[in-house]
Structure 1
Amino acid sequence: MTADSELGEVIVEFIRNGPYVKCSAVHTATGVEVSAMGPVAEPRAVERVAIAKLKRALLAD
């Protein structure tokens, strides 16, 4: 679980599938979930993309 100053509490999960990693991010207050995929060698970059997608998803509501 991470805390983002803009989002609040976010649950982050990584699942490896061969050379790729899937990062799912769930906003605990609303239950909104997004995911991003990328190379297994760059999990933090994939996490940044997932968090950015979550911010956009929450702004769209």
Structure 2
Amino acid sequence: MSRQGPVPGEIYIEFHPVGQQVKVTAIDASTGIEVVVIGPSKAASADLKNLAVRKLLRRIEREAPPAAPSPARGRVV
């Protein structure tokens, strides 16, 4: 089965050991936004993954365009 493109909400995670540390990269598939966290190599990988995902979601929220006003409410000028 071939895929047409990235699935909305899909996140790619990469772990890269660097000495006593681990560099964790999280990438949002649909926007291409990427964040990196670095933690101790002895930390649980699930904790580092959760940290990277939370950081990514926060960055996506921050970079999202402001919501358009609802047509039902109208716009106050």
TM-score category of the 2 structures, normalised to the smaller one: 0.7 to 0.9
- 1:6-47 deviation per Cα after TM superposition (whole angstroms, max 9, x unaligned): x71001000001111010000000000001010112222111
Find the counterpart in structure 2 of residue 48 from structure 1.
50
Task: Give the structure with higher Rg (CA).
Answer: 2
- Aligned positions, number: 55
Q: Structure 1 stretches (4+) deviating beyond 2 angstroms?
A: none
Task: Return the letter of the residue paired with 2:57.
Answer: K
Q: Where does structure 1 lack aligned partners over 5 or more consecutive residues?
A: 1-6
Higher RCO by CA contacts (8 Å cutoff, separation 6 or greater)? 1
Q: Aligned-pair RMSD on alpha carbons?
A: 1.2
More strand by share: 1
Task: Return the letter of the residue paired with 1:22.
Answer: K
In the superposition, the TM-score normalised over structure 1's length comes to 0.82
